Amino acid sequence: MTLVGKKAPSFTAQAVVNGHEIVNGFSLDKFLGKKYVLFFFYPKDFTFVCPTELWAFQEKLEAFRQRNVEVVACSTDTEQSHWGWLQLDKKQGGIKGVTYPIVADTNKTISYNYGVLTGDYDWNEHGELSATAELIAYRGLFLIDKDGIVQHELINSLSLGRNVDEALRMVDALQFFEENGEVCPANWHKGQAGMSATHEGVADYLAAK
């Protein structure tokens, strides 16, 4: 089940903001009507692929903010775990210097509602509660517009890191469509022409290639 075209699931949770401040009651709802949101999930703190992704988003943070996009991360770790990782230097595998919010999905409901939880609870033959897999988040990414509607989603397996430039390209494509009413063909990049969503528009575009 995709969330594209649907309202992004709402939540309220603990988060670490500005790299050091633990806050209660963090929600994406505060951005409604004001900003786009790039909301992404990662599996675990203190791991291997994850810090490369968090740093990659930090390195492009200003580019996202220039486009009125708030970047927000989330995993099923606690806010205390997030805070500890944020105090650890990059040379030690930490993410000290990452400044965008990192949400603590400790009860795993956010990951579940966004469809990125790797497993589920079940009952075994003895009536005991079990889990079908380790309950952490896949590498999910969701581009949410100012109305709170998911316009793009991407979900990778645990071992596959994402391309942050592609996430930025999708922001550009969405904003181009909103501003110009033209659609963005394959491999479109900011600064290129779009095309009208008609047979003639497609024909003209392909003929010009």
CATH number for 111: 3.40.30.10
Question: Does some domain include residue 84?
Answer: yes
Asked if 148 and 169 sit in the same domain, the reply is: no
Tell me what pLDDT residue 162 has.
97
Q: Are residues 104 and 71 in the same domain?
A: yes
Domain housing 193: 163-209
- Residues ≥6 apart with Cβ < 8 Å to 45: 75, 77, 81, 82, 84, 85
Distance between CA 102 and CA 207 in Å, rounded? 46
Say if residue 77 is in the same domain as residue 146. yes
Is the pLDDT assigned to residue 1 strictly greater than 90? no
Q: Are residues 40 and 30 in the same domain?
A: yes
pLDDT of residue 18: 97
Percent of the chain with pLDDT over 70: 100
Q: Is residue 4 part of a domain?
A: no
Per the domain annotation, does 6 fall within a domain? Answer: no
Asked whether residue 157 is assigned to any structural domain, the reply reads yes
Whether residue 178 sits in one domain with residue 98: no
Predicted pLDDT at 20: 96
- The tens digit of pLDDT for each residue in 3-47 reads 999 999 999 999 999 999 999 999 999 999 999 999 999 999 999
Is pLDDT above 80 for 135?
yes
Same domain for 174 and 152, yes or no, is: no
Percent of the chain residues past pLDDT 90, beyond the cut: 90
Confidence at residue 141, expressed as pLDDT on a 0 to 100 scale: 98
Number of folded domains in the chain?
A: 2
Q: Is residue 128 part of a domain?
A: yes
CA distance 134 to 113: 17
Question: What is the average per-residue pLDDT within 103-111?
Answer: 97
Is residue 172 located within the same domain as residue 106?
A: no
Instruction: Give me the catalytic one of 16, 28, 50, 116.
Output: 50
Read off the pLDDT of each residue in 181-193 and give the average, rounded to a whole number: 94
The reply to whether 50 belongs to the active site is: yes
Same structural domain for residues 95 and 66?
Answer: yes
Please give the Cα distance from 114 to 125 (Å, whole number).
29
Tens-digit pLDDT profile for residues 150-169: 999 999 999 999 999 999 99
